[in-house]
Amino acid sequence: MSSKSTINFYIISDSVGGTASQLGQAAMTQFPDADIKVSAYPFIRGSDTLLSILEKAEIDNAIVLHTLVDEKLNKTAKTFCEKHELVCFDPLSPIISELEKRSEMVPIQKPGALHLLDETYFNRIKAIEFAVKFDDGRDPKGFLEADIVLLGISRTSKTPLSMFLANQNYKVANLPLIPEAHIPEQIWQVDPKKIVGLTSDREALNSIRRERMLTYGMNPDTEYSKLDRIDRELDFAKELYEKLGCLVINVSKKSIEETAAIIINTLQIEHKKYEQN
């Protein structure tokens, strides 16, 4: 008996994700008529990025398959999935644990140790390193060097989207927007065609921010999650995007892949226009 409802499958890795992808594909081929949507999140490096992805997985009631060899990230995934009763498979840990016991050795916990190091891989790593270095506006110089600059208020998926685009070999820098904070001068020097303004629905942001506070064991009803505060931030971002004349995307009902596809497609169209001129 088949079902028309979509099954969401999240594949998460702190490397390329080839092992998890192949395992997931092997299972999915047994259900050729099922409506399965796969979302891949490779090169996860920080707990905050991982938590953002897992929060989306919870909303999608997704099956999570991960090959996180980093002990901290692995524990974060396990704790979150157990707390939120999210179906999660971690195929590597039992094998690594048994090998550790029998060999009496400590695993190196090196992501992607199996991966063949070619030029494409190194370029991807450079893009990932760029995204990490210039995440959350840490160094304004990155805005001038980036292929893509993401702007957005808190919880509009800036970091997960940066990492996803970096996996496509794009150098991405992002800046969190806060009404009280100064906009770096470098932003005004960037070609607006490279800038993407991320926004979302106020109710979605309220829900996500409340959940994030609960995840950290804090009171969910804070200034951070209040609707009037969210409205003020959204208005500030909207006004900035209009001044910049940049592409604006509402991410509230879009997956990371969908948002990335819009950005990449827009960049390619602009590049073709430039070549024609």
Q: Do residue 62 and residue 86 come from a single domain?
A: yes
pLDDT in tens, the chain (277 residues): 344 688 999 999 987 777 788 888 888 888 888 899 999 898 888 899 999 999 999 999 999 999 898 889 999 999 999 999 999 999 988 988 888 888 988 877 666 555 545 567 778 889 999 999 999 999 999 999 999 999 999 999 999 999 999 989 999 999 999 999 999 999 999 999 999 999 999 999 999 999 988 888 889 999 999 999 999 999 999 999 999 999 999 999 999 999 999 999 998 887 666 666 6
- Is 67 annotated in some ligand binding site? no
Q: Do residue 98 and residue 140 come from a single domain?
A: no
- Is 39 annotated in some ligand binding site? no
CA distance 93 to 65: 12
- Is 153 annotated in some ligand binding site? yes
Which token pair is 84?
Answer: 């939120």
Whether the model clears a pTM of 0.95, i.e. scores above it, the answer is no
> Is residue 213 packed enough to be buried (19+ CB in 10 Å), middle (13-18) or exposed (0-12)?
middle
Question: Does residue 30 belong to any structural domain of this protein?
Answer: yes
| pLDDT at 116 (0 to 100) | 47
The number of distinct structural domains making up the chain is 2
Structural domain including 189 reads 119-276
| pLDDT at 14 (0 to 100) | 82
> Which CATH number fits the domain that encloses residue 271?
3.40.50
Question: Does residue 71 belong to any structural domain of this protein?
Answer: yes
| pLDDT at 170 (0 to 100) | 95
Q: Do residue 158 and residue 247 come from a single domain?
A: yes
- Is 2 annotated in some ligand binding site? no
- Is 152 annotated in some ligand binding site? yes
Which token pair is 155?
Answer: 């919880």
| pLDDT at 55 (0 to 100) | 94
Place of tokens 């960049």: 267
- Is 159 annotated in some ligand binding site? yes
Q: Do residue 222 and residue 151 come from a single domain?
A: yes
DSSP the chain: ----SPEEEEEEESS--HHHHHHHHHHHTT-TTS-EEEEEE-----HHHHHHHHHHHHHTT-EEEEE--SHHHHHHHHHHHHHTT--EE-SHHHHHHHHHHHHT------TTTTS---HHHHHHHHHHHHHHHTGGGS-THHHHH-SEEEEE-TTS-HHHHHHHHHTTT--EEEEE--TTSPPPGGGGGS-GGGEEEEE--HHHHHHHHHHHHHHTTS-S-SGGG-HHHHHHHHHHHHHHHHHHT-EEEE-TT--HHHHHHHHHHHHHHHHHHHHH-
Residues in the chain, total: 277
Q: Do residue 47 and residue 169 come from a single domain?
A: no
- Is 155 annotated in some ligand binding site? yes
- Is 156 annotated in some ligand binding site? yes
Of 48, 10, 67, 86, the closest CA to residue 174 belongs to: 48
Q: Do residue 83 and residue 142 come from a single domain?
A: no
Domain termination site, one of 103, 131, 164:
103
